[in-house]
Amino acid sequence: MTWHSLVESCVFVAANQGCVQIAIYLVRFACGQIALHALRAVQRQLESVVVAWVVLEKQVIGIFYSVLVATMVGQRIWQRHYHILAKRMNMLWKMSMASARIGVRRLSLRSMSNS
């Protein structure tokens, strides 16, 4: 293992543990100008982690929003169907009550005429 790869692996371990300041200190103390490659790699890795978090957050927000919109649309469809069904049932109930009244009147008229 060369000195360059040893320093690079130490920097990556420190950066992965969340100790970025320690990684930068190790690079500057151990190698000076030789470790610029490792330092750039750590910075790129941190930038990619930030970008990954931003993308992940936007995906979670997008999924939440799409579920919310789908729920609202489903609720509106269900509300419309329920309203149509309730209206139809109310109309059928009124028709059955009206026919029952007519039937009662006919029966009462027949009973009065038979007497």
Please write the tens of the pLDDT for every residue from 29-65: 666 655 566 666 666 666 777 777 888 889 889 899 9
Greater confidence (60 vs 16) lies with: 60
Residue with tokens 């579920």: 67
What's the confidence (pLDDT) of residue 23?
Answer: 63
Cα–chain center distance at 47:
26
The tens digit of pLDDT for each residue in 66-108 reads 999 999 999 999 998 888 888 888 887 777 777 766 665 665 6
What's the confidence (pLDDT) of residue 76?
Answer: 92
What's the confidence (pLDDT) of residue 109?
Answer: 57
The string over 11-38, giving b where at least 16 C-beta atoms fall within 10 Å of a residue's C-beta and e elsewhere, is beebbeeeeeeebbebbeeebeeebeeb
C-alpha pair distances (Å), 4 with each of 9, 22, 111: 9, 17, 114
What's the confidence (pLDDT) of residue 26?
Answer: 62
Q: Is the pTM of this model over 0.75?
A: no
What's the confidence (pLDDT) of residue 92?
Answer: 77
Please say if the pLDDT value at position 5 is more than 80: no
The string over 92-112, giving b where at least 16 C-beta atoms fall within 10 Å of a residue's C-beta and e elsewhere, is eeeeeeeeeeeeeeeeeeeee
Please say if the pLDDT value at position 114 is more than 90: no
